[in-house]
Amino acid sequence: MTSVELTRFRVRPEKTEELLAARADMLADFTADRAGFLGARLVQLPDNEWLDIVEWASPEDFAASRDKGGNLPGIARFFAAIDSLVTAEEGTLA
């Protein structure tokens, strides 16, 4: 069953370019290093908030990825551009 990670976060306006520049490398690192990574979409919301929608082959794949954190440079660079976490949820694709 496909697991969906929904992470809403804030980015200071001066860090927006850095976040977007880091995105391609983050996705490449996820593809190379994270079993079960199916893809991701980044949505810009009002008030400097963003929503990252990430699909995983299973809840176990998502949990394993979460345990790795920012273990690779592209992932770490993307995470570093984030100012604060708003919400983080997990669901199942219906």
Mean pLDDT per 10-residue interval, the chain, length 94 residues: 97 98 98 98 98 98 96 98 98 94
User: Which one of 3.30.70.100, 3.40.50.1820, 3.40.50.620, 3.40.640.10 gives the CATH number of domain 3-88?
Assistant: 3.30.70.100
Residue 16 amino acid letter = T
What pLDDT shows up at residue 61?
97
The count of other CB atoms within 10 Å of the CB of residue 39 is 11
Predicted pLDDT at 32: 97
DSSP annotation of 47 reads T
State residue 69's pLDDT score.
95
Predicted pLDDT at 21: 98
Query: How far is residue 16's CA from residue 40's CA, in Å, rounded to a whole number?
Result: 18
Distance CA 90, CA 6 (A): 6
Cα(48)–Cα(84) distance, integer angstroms: 11
Rounded CA-CA distance 52/67 in Å is 18
